[in-house]
Structure 1
Amino acid sequence: MQEMYKNLDQLLTFRHSVTHNPIPLDFHQHQDHYEIYFFLTGDVHYFIEKQVYPLQYGDLLIMHSNELHRPNFQSKKQRYENVVIHFNPAVLEHFNSQQFDLLDCFNNRVFGEQNRMRLTPPQIDDIMKLFDRMEMHRRPQALPGSEILYFATFIELLVFINRIFQNQGKQEEQVMMPDKLSSLFAYIDENLDQDLSLEVLEQVVFMNRSYLCRLFKKHTGSTIHEHILFKRIARAKHLLREGSTVTDTCQLAGFNDYSNFIRTFKKAVGLPPRQYQSQQRRV
């Protein structure tokens, strides 16, 4: 336990941020960390896997480490404020009870679904109080023992979130994703090792490639090429962690050119595939 508190900054991060000129973010995942995202102000549609959520004040998002996501800013000049928490689920190993799993809302739902919880005004007030306490306990001038209170408040936050998740059931997803794009996402996921050129994709969804590209950009904030590339990198990382050879990974992830795979993987991950695989074996 003492070792956990020494490494708490690597295991649990809290950020309350405000900006008037948000910088566009690429598609991303958090390999070892889960994310809690609380929306306060802005004009944002949030993309998670195959869904887009238009956000309003008090919306809470939860993301598993493998769920692809990115905010799509509809207006870049509006005030943008949120609270984001990243945490390594391993930190909770000794805090679950037989009756209550603190990771239930992250692990026990369909991948890429039920990511958003729409909180009531009283729930918004309650969660803001928890965030205020976490922020207070992480200040540089905090009193001795504040790291314990910081982590204890985080545990309380997870209990709070899971109770909301369990009580709301499966709400109707108020998403803005056209059926054509939903079909496109499904096809890409199932055929990452195949030809995913625009020539192929426009035939899959029976839509002109120019219009398809514009539609994709409008709803995700990114291009089809960027989405496919990130999905293939994510597949490659998974295969390497599972012990696949670099050569097999190149083919199974849809990179037909080995040199291009090595170069693209290193640019995206920061390490060449073999070094990444070795590092994962040591973790």
Structure 2
Amino acid sequence: MQDIYHNLFDLVTFRHSVTHTPAPLGFHQHQDQYEIYFFLTGDVHYFIEKQVYQLQYGDLLIMHSNELHRPNFQSKKQRYENVVIHFNPSLAEHFNAPHFDLLGCFHNRAFGERNRIRLSQPQIDDIMKLFERMGLHRRPQAQPGSDILYLSTFIELLVFINRAFQNQDKQEEPAVMPDKLSALFAYIDENLDQDLSLDVLEQVVFMNRSYLCRLFKKHTGSTIHEHILFKRIAKAKQLLREGSTVTDTCQLAGFNDYSNFIRTFKKAVGLPPRQYQAQQRRV
């Protein structure tokens, strides 16, 4: 257990940010990290897998490491404020109780669904107090023992989030994603190893490619090509972790050209596929 405490602030990172010029952020995942995102102000549509959440003050988002997500800023000249926490799930597992799973809200739901928890005003007040305490314990001038208080407050936060998740309406779903795009996302996920050119996709959803591209950009803030590329890279990483050869991974993830796969993977991940696989085996 003492290894957990060796560098606690690296295992649970806390950031409260305010900006009037949010930098564009592409599709991403957090390998071996879970994310808690609390929205305060701005005009943001948040894409997670096949859903788009139109955020309002006090919305809480939860994402585990395999869920693809990105914010889509509707206005670049508006105050944008949020709180973001990333943490290693292995940390929370040490504090589970037989009757209470601290990671239940991340695991006990369908992939890419029920990521948003819409909090009441009293709940917003309570979670803001927890964030304030975490921020205070992280200050450079904090007294000895603040790392322990930081950890205990974080565990309290996970209890709070799981209770809110369990009590929310399970039927609540975002309504800003057109059915055509939902069908497109499903087709892409199920056919990553197939031809996903615009020639094919416009036939799948019975929509002109120009309009389809504009609709996709409007709701996700990105392009269809970028989305497909990231999904294929994510699939390749999964296959490599599971022991597939680099050659098989190239084909199964939908990269028809081996050299292009090596080059694209290295650019996206920072390591060539074989080196990435070797690194994962050592973890």
Instruction: Give the structure-1-normalised TM-score.
Output: 0.99
Distance in 2 of aligned mates of 1:112 and 1:98: 26
Q: Matched residue pairs, number?
A: 283
Distance in 1 of aligned mates of 2:270 and 2:143: 38
Distance in 2 of aligned mates of 1:142 and 1:55: 33
Distance in 2 of aligned mates of 1:174 and 1:12: 29
Distance in 1 of aligned mates of 2:167 and 2:42: 28
Distance in 2 of aligned mates of 1:169 and 1:218: 28
Distance in 1 of aligned mates of 2:10 and 2:245: 30
Distance in 2 of aligned mates of 1:93 and 1:123: 25
Residue 237 of structure 1 pairs with residue 250 of structure 2 = no
SS for the counterpart of 2:157 is helix
Aligned to 1:179: 179
> Structure 1: which amino acid aligns with 2:181?
L
Contiguous gaps of at least 5 residues in structure 1: none
User: How many Å apart are 1:115 and its aligned residue?
Assistant: 0.3
Aligned to 1:26: 26
Matches within 5 A, 1:193-204: 193-204=193-204
> Structure 2: which amino acid aligns with 1:219?
H
Aligned to 2:253: 253
Distance in 1 of aligned mates of 2:226 and 2:282: 30
CA-to-partner distance for each residue in 1:99-140, whole Å, 9 max, x for gaps?
A: 000000000100000000110000000000000000000000
User: How many Å apart are 1:175 and its aligned residue?
Assistant: 2.6
> Structure 2: which amino acid aligns with 1:21?
T
Aligned to 2:100: 100
SS for the counterpart of 1:22 is coil
Distance in 1 of aligned mates of 2:186 and 2:197: 15
> Structure 2: which amino acid aligns with 1:63?
M
User: How many Å apart are 1:9 and its aligned residue?
Assistant: 2.7
> Structure 2: which amino acid aligns with 1:91?
L
Aligned to 2:46: 46
8 Å Cα contact 2:93-2:102 kept in structure 1 = no
> Structure 2: which amino acid aligns with 1:37?
Y
Distance in 2 of aligned mates of 1:52 and 1:174: 6
Aligned to 1:12: 12
Distance in 1 of aligned mates of 2:60 and 2:182: 23
User: How many Å apart are 1:6 and its aligned residue?
Assistant: 1.5
CA-to-partner distance for each residue in 1:65-120, whole Å, 9 max, x for gaps?
A: 10000000000110100000000100122200000000000001000000001100
Residue 216 of structure 1 pairs with residue 213 of structure 2 = no
SS for the counterpart of 2:112 is coil
Distance in 1 of aligned mates of 2:46 and 2:187: 21
> Structure 2: which amino acid aligns with 1:30?
H
Residue 160 of structure 1 pairs with residue 166 of structure 2 = no
Distance in 1 of aligned mates of 2:40 and 2:103: 24
8 Å Cα contact 2:9-2:147 kept in structure 1 = no
Aligned to 2:68: 68
CA-to-partner distance for each residue in 1:7-47, whole Å, 9 max, x for gaps?
A: 22331100000111000100000110100000000000000
User: How many Å apart are 1:169 and its aligned residue?
Assistant: 3.7
Distance in 1 of aligned mates of 2:145 and 2:107: 31
Aligned to 1:82: 82
Distance in 2 of aligned mates of 1:95 and 1:68: 27
Distance in 1 of aligned mates of 2:90 and 2:3: 13
CA-to-partner distance for each residue in 1:208-234, whole Å, 9 max, x for gaps?
A: 000000000000000000000000000
> Structure 1: which amino acid aligns with 2:33?
H
Identical positions, percent = 86
Deviates more, 1:69-78 or 1:6-15: 6-15
Q: After TM superposition, what 4+ stretches of structure 1 lie above 2 angstroms from structure 2?
A: none
Residue 121 of structure 1 pairs with residue 109 of structure 2 = no
Over the aligned positions, Cα root-mean-square deviation in angstroms equals: 0.7
Distance in 2 of aligned mates of 1:59 and 1:189: 27
Aligned to 1:263: 263
Distance in 2 of aligned mates of 1:92 and 1:179: 37
SS for the counterpart of 1:61 is strand
Distance in 1 of aligned mates of 2:272 and 2:101: 37
Distance in 1 of aligned mates of 2:16 and 2:150: 15
> Structure 1: which amino acid aligns with 2:212?
L
Deviates more, 1:67-76 or 1:160-169: 160-169
8 Å Cα contact 2:93-2:103 kept in structure 1 = no
Distance in 2 of aligned mates of 1:92 and 1:53: 27
